[in-house]
Amino acid sequence: MSLMKFCRECNNILYPKEDKRQKVLLFACRNCDHQEVAENNCVYRNEVHHSASERTQVLLDVASDPSLPRTKAVRCKECNHEEVVFFQATARGEEGMTLFYVCCNSSCGHRWRD
């Protein structure tokens, strides 16, 4: 069973969102207006807790973490491999979220920030 849900309209990740008026949990796209009612009210949330300096040296274990989403829409900048793991995190001293990518090619493991 996949933990990630993707938008049927634009294929972006759907994020959990509470509809307080109807008292239901939704999964909504941040890119378009698509949203759908969740099958249940449980949401798994993966959080990365590291300092900013540790995050710039992401461990290769991230590429094998089954809770992190993978995409073939972004290719590795180093070896051009077609699958990467990605996650968002807040760097200390910076505002907003930073998107990090890690190549899934075990002989490469290149990592970069977007």
Residues of the binding site for Zn(2+): 7, 10, 29, 32, 76, 79, 103, 108
Rounded Cα distance, 108 and 106, in Å: 5
Task: Count the Cβ atoms, other than its own, within 10 Å of residue 104.
Answer: 20
Rounded Cα distance, 92 and 72, in Å: 29
Helix, strand, coil proportions of the chain in percent (round to 5)?
Answer: 10, 30, 60
Rounded Cα distance, 80 and 52, in Å: 26
* Closest among 46, 8, 52 to 29, alpha carbons compared: 8
